[in-house]
Amino acid sequence: MSGTAVMKVLAHRSENGRSVRVVEYRFDGSRLYFEGPSLYTHVDANGTNQLDYIAAMGQAMAGKPSVLLLGTAGGALATQLSRAGASVTAVDDCSAGCCQSNANSSPLGRSSPKPELALPNDLPPLSQGG
C-alpha cells in the first residue's frame, strides 16, 4: 500500500483555544479522539473502548445503576457503562466549546441530540466492523 495513508482525519476543529481531532485507522475502522497532542479516546469500529485507563474506570463503576461523568472527552466510558445497563449522565466543559454528551450513542461520530465536542453533525458513523 505504498503512498496510502494509514489514517484519515474525519474532523478537526479549533475553537476557544482548544484543538480537537478525530481520526480513523483505514485498516480496521477504529477511531481516535485527540485534544491537542493528548489521546483521550480510542474505540474499535463497533464503538468499544480500546484504552486501559477507560477499561479500569469502567470496572471500578461496574454494576452501578446510575453514574454521573464529568469531563467525558470522547464518550467511550459513558458508552461502555450505558451498554452495561447503567443510567449515565455525561457532561463535558461547555464553556470551552463542547456540549453535553449523549451516553446512549457510541462515541466519536454517532448521532446525538447535540454535537459531541463541537464536531460536525455529519461525521460519518462507525463502520461496525473493519
For 3-61, the pLDDT digits (tens) are: 678 999 998 988 778 888 999 999 999 999 888 898 988 999 888 899 999 999 999 99
For residues 119 and 109, which has the higher predicted lDDT (pLDDT)?
Answer: 119
CA dihedral (80, 81, 86, 91) positive or negative: negative
- Please give the model's pTM, rounded to 2 decimal places: 0.66
| 62 C-beta neighbours (distance < 10 Å), count | 12
Whole-angstrom distance, CA of residue 41 vs CA of residue 22: 9
Q: What is the pLDDT of residues 55-111, one digit of tens each?
A: 999 999 989 999 998 877 678 888 889 888 999 988 876 444 444 344 444 444 433
pLDDT at 71: 77
